[in-house]
Structure 1
Amino acid sequence: MRLAADRGSATIWVLAVGVVIVLVGAFGAALGAARMARQQARVAADFGALAGAGHALDGEAAACGMAGELARANGARLAACRVDGLDVLVSTQVTVSPLPWLTRTVTATARAGPVRG
């Protein structure tokens, strides 16, 4: 009679293991999405600062305009831009939703200008 009491327990165990695997996979995907957003923000800030530095002599409006164009082309939003002499300081933001109920904004900052020796 003891065998009859254990019927169906394997189904519950398989279901529990399946749920754990799905949760671990979702966590891994969320972590990967967050890391990709961070890298995307960094690339956009770097390229924006380099493009802006190339136009630093044309004034802050031209330099920051070019930095904004490159930030948008790289999937980011220009959060801040400042010209300091011939250097351009750019901050970009990327919004990421790694999970449906979780939205975060990643910010990166880069500086570019001429080499000083």
Structure 2
Amino acid sequence: MEAIEGTAALDRGGATICLLAVGLVFVLVGLFGAALGAARTAGQQARNSADFGALAGAGRALESDDVACGRAGELVRANGGRLVACRLDGLDVVVTAEVRVAPLPGLVRTATATSRAGPLRG
């Protein structure tokens, strides 16, 4: 009888540790999923910023490079991005925007996108 009681005393708390380990795995998988989602969202935000910036700049392409790129920069910033590059290629405006994201503390990533907009060619 003593051997059985001694073994039971050694097993005490084993299920708690196993449950904590499983919980930790779930937390880590959740953090990884959230980080991946934040990175994908930043990529989409960078594309939207670049698209809107290029469209806004194309509307002012006839005025000058400075005016077109100034307007593109305004729209990029309004959409949460940072204008990295802007140039006119004929009447087309090519805009590159970036969005910085910190999915986890201490982990900073940058999503970059480039868009072109101009008049319709037939």
Q: Same fold (TM over 0.5)?
A: yes
Partner of 2:41: 36
Counterpart CA distance in 1 for 2:90 and 2:10 is 80
Partner of 1:52: 57
Equivalent position SS for 1:107? strand
Partner of 2:21: 16
Question: Quick one: which amino acid aligns to residue 76 of structure 1?
Answer: G
Equivalent position SS for 1:82? strand
1:34-88 superposed Cα distances (whole Å, 9 cap, x missing partner): 0000000000000000000000000100000000000000000000000011000
Partner of 1:71: 76
1:90 aligns with 2:72: no
Counterpart CA distance in 1 for 2:53 and 2:10 is 67
User: Shift of the alpha carbon at 1:115?
Assistant: 0.8
Structure 1: unaligned runs, 5 residues or longer: none
Please say which structure displays the higher CA radius of gyration. 2
CA RMSD of aligned residues (A): 0.6
Instruction: Provide runs of 4+ in structure 1 moved above 6 Å.
Output: none
Structure 2: unaligned runs, 5 residues or longer: none
User: What is the aligned-residue identity percentage?
Assistant: 69
User: Shift of the alpha carbon at 1:103?
Assistant: 0.4
TM-score for the superposition, normalised by structure 1 = 0.98
Partner of 1:62: 67
TM-score for the superposition, normalised by structure 2 = 0.94
Aligned residue pair count: 117
